Amino acid sequence: MPDHDKPNWKSKKRSRKTFKTDRAQLVNGKLRLDKPHGAGAWYDIKLAEQPRWQGQLKQVCVVQDADGYYASFSIEVQASVEKRPVLTVTGVDANIGKFDYQTSTGYATQPTLPERLPPLYARIAHYQRQLARKRKVNPKHFNSAAYRTTRTKLKRQYQRVERIQTDLLQKFTTMLVTDYDLIGIEDLDNRHMRMNKRLAKNLHRSLFGKFKVIMQYKADWYGNTLVLADRFYPSTQRCSRCGYVKTADERITLSGNLKHRTGHDDYHCYQCGVKLRRDENAVENLVAYAKSKVTG
Ligand SMILES: [Zn+2]
């Protein structure tokens, strides 16, 4: 194919190629991109799925990903959302491999590391090693056909991981905003990363970031009250019963507490003597924090 009719990518250097247009239209259920680029395969594109919203098409962003091209639509829709009265409350504590949250009857856990993921992580590591070797062996011309093939294979594994995680996150967050009116979460930073040495840190880091972003927009859509506990709120170190906050050598660390010889998964309050599971204590604290922000 001659290149002259194809759209100009925003940048050739970025691994994720995108271009945006505000002149695209939907014609007879097909996507028509703007004229100057419109020719051949770029004209009247069949859609895998029709847009779910009726409204004005503002912008279309086309992305080249591992296995093909994807178009995402920005559609302007009029919506009125009413703030829900606070009847049900939950708090969500994000950890490596799981989210802990409070239900009406107790505590529940949403795993974020399904069995399908570790083999994919292993493959990612494998292809990354292969690519690194290719760059080392042939530093000046490493962008060969073989290099690009391997890079595409790598991208496909990333894509699969991302799809599994996105699916999981979307279902989990929808459940939260449907079932609970007031939700307390942590304003996540990389604190969690400093606490763990497990595989695939970057993938998890992006998962935490996405969780917060999704919760923010879904709370707007569904009229929930979302309370972000700022990063200095000691949800792990605070006792949810008496409010005592552990400091200095009393703190719970990755290896528990050496001074008192308590474990990483337990919260033993040295003030009131209560013994709780660490995750459940954190969830309780987030619930209390969210409630305190609502009642003022
Ligand atoms: Zn206590």
Asked which of 20, 43, 76 is the last residue of a domain, the reply is 76
**Residues 227 and 131 reside in one and the same domain:** yes
**Residues 162 and 222 reside in one and the same domain:** yes
Q: What is the whole-number distance in angstroms between the Cα of residue 274 and the centre of ligand 1? A: 6
**Helix ranges, the chain (H):** 117-137, 145-179, 191-194, 201-222, 278-295
Q: What is the whole-number distance in angstroms between the Cα of residue 234 and the centre of ligand 1? A: 14
| Residues near 252 by beta carbon (within 8 Å), at least 6 away in sequence | 236, 237, 246, 262, 264, 267, 278
**Helix ranges, 27-116 (H):** none
Distance, CA of 164 to CA of 183 (rounded, Å) = 24
**Residues 96 and 198 reside in one and the same domain:** yes
Asked which of 44, 76, 108 is the last residue of a domain, the reply is 76
**Residues 70 and 209 reside in one and the same domain:** no
**Residues 145 and 290 reside in one and the same domain:** yes
**Residues 69 and 98 reside in one and the same domain:** no
Q: What is the whole-number distance in angstroms between the Cα of residue 267 and the centre of ligand 1? A: 9
Assess if residue 238 is contained within a domain: no
More confident residue, 40 or 238: 238
DSSP state of 14: S
Q: What is the whole-number distance in angstroms between the Cα of residue 109 and the centre of ligand 1? A: 24
- pTM recorded for the entire structure: 0.80
**Residues 16 and 136 reside in one and the same domain:** no
Question: Whole-number mean pLDDT of the chain?
Answer: 83
pLDDT at 2: 53
Q: What is the whole-number distance in angstroms between the Cα of residue 196 and the centre of ligand 1? A: 26
Distance, CA of 78 to CA of 56 (rounded, Å) = 10
Distance, CA of 1 to CA of 16 (rounded, Å) = 21
End-to-end CA, the chain: 64
pLDDT at 284: 93
Nearest CA to 66 among 169, 167, 148? 148
pLDDT single digits (tens) 234-280: 888 899 999 888 888 888 777 777 777 777 788 888 888 888 888 89
Q: What is the whole-number distance in angstroms between the Cα of residue 23 and the centre of ligand 1? A: 61
**Residues 120 and 172 reside in one and the same domain:** yes
Distance, CA of 270 to CA of 244 (rounded, Å) = 8
**Residues 15 and 105 reside in one and the same domain:** no
Assess if residue 263 is contained within a domain: no
**Residues 145 and 291 reside in one and the same domain:** yes
Q: What is the whole-number distance in angstroms between the Cα of residue 290 and the centre of ligand 1? A: 19
Q: What is the whole-number distance in angstroms between the Cα of residue 284 and the centre of ligand 1? A: 12
Q: What is the whole-number distance in angstroms between the Cα of residue 139 and the centre of ligand 1? A: 59
Q: Which of 31-35, 49-53, 223-227 has the highest mean pLDDT?
A: 223-227
pLDDT at 199: 47
pLDDT single digits (tens) 181-218: 999 998 866 555 444 555 445 556 667 788 999 999 99
Show the domain range for 194.
Answer: 89-233+286-295
Q: What is the whole-number distance in angstroms between the Cα of residue 106 and the centre of ligand 1? A: 19
Q: What is the whole-number distance in angstroms between the Cα of residue 180 and the centre of ligand 1? A: 27
| Residues near 166 by beta carbon (within 8 Å), at least 6 away in sequence | 210
pLDDT single digits (tens) 48-58: 888 888 888 99
Q: What is the whole-number distance in angstroms between the Cα of residue 275 and the centre of ligand 1? A: 9
Assess if residue 248 is contained within a domain: no
**Residues 214 and 112 reside in one and the same domain:** yes
Into how many domains does the chain fold? 2
- Lowest mean pLDDT segment, chosen from 17-26, 48-57, 60-69, 196-205: 196-205
